[in-house]
Amino acid sequence: MQMLAEQVCWVPISEIAGWKDGEVGCRGLPGADVWEGGASVLLELREEGGYILLAGRERLLELKALGQNCVDAVISPRWNLEERISGLLNRLLKGTVHYLEEAEEYDLLLKTGLISRQELAQRLGRSQATLQRKLRLLSFAEETRKLLRRHQLSEQQAQAILRIPGEQGRKRMVEHVGKNGLSLRDTEDLVEETLSRMPIPVPRDRRMIPLMRDHRLYINAIRGIVEQMQDAGLQADMQVRTGTALVEVRLSIPCFSQPRRQGGRG
């Protein structure tokens, strides 16, 4: 029963990809008593991620009609966690798993709610710090992950590039490193050089102490807004000039012409 209780999860409805043909009822299924005890639907985890609805179709449709975004659900034990972990461990030992695929697999296993981060690390013979470092690779946007695969950059290079703030900056760095065939050492040096040119150097642990009297904090905040504009496709640019008495910040943002009003005052 303890195992079944751990399978109750708060699942986004958007991740439930319909239901199987000939929907089954909950009676006789593993976890049926838990399902009847309060959870709204019974789900099965898909191999490619997301969920399949096994039981509770009417309740799910009702919640969707009410605008509910998530549902309290039970994950069916039919998805064999042991086999999944064992298969992943074998592939890791053979060295046939791409580091991004490895991170995605960790994320999928943890999202089931069937195993904790500490337990997963122990089962795979890794430290929790290593697991966290792998999961941080998922901070890359999907397009940047594709570039990492296409240019066959190593995990160490990806971890170095991850220190660059802003997705556009990371993407440009991946493309530059890949097209020029830079080594790990060259990549790390380039990242260090890029960070050194920023108003506030980003520390290795990415922890920043907010000092409200330090103008660099505000410069960094403005740079973050510019990065968001660039990520949204806006050709924004920021230039900083530091003097002895003041700091000059110049922002360049494209103008959009406004339609002229027709007619005039009578």
pLDDT at res. 214 = 60
pLDDT (0 to 100) of residue 34: 39
Q: pLDDT tens across 132-179, in order? A: 999 999 999 989 999 999 999 999 999 999 999 888 999 999 999 999
**Residue 26 backbone phi and psi in degrees, to 5:** -85, -15
Instruction: Look over the chain and give the mean of its residue pLDDT values, rounded to a whole number.
Output: 76
CB 22 within 8 Å of CB 55: no
| HSE, side-chain direction, 13 A CA sphere, residue 33 | 5
What's this model's pTM, rounded to 2 decimal places?
Answer: 0.52
SS3 for 204-243 is CCCCCCCCCCCHHHHHHHHHHHHHHHHHCCCCCEEEEEEC
3-state secondary structure of 51: strand
Q: Which of 241, 236, 191 is nearest to 215 (CA)?
A: 241
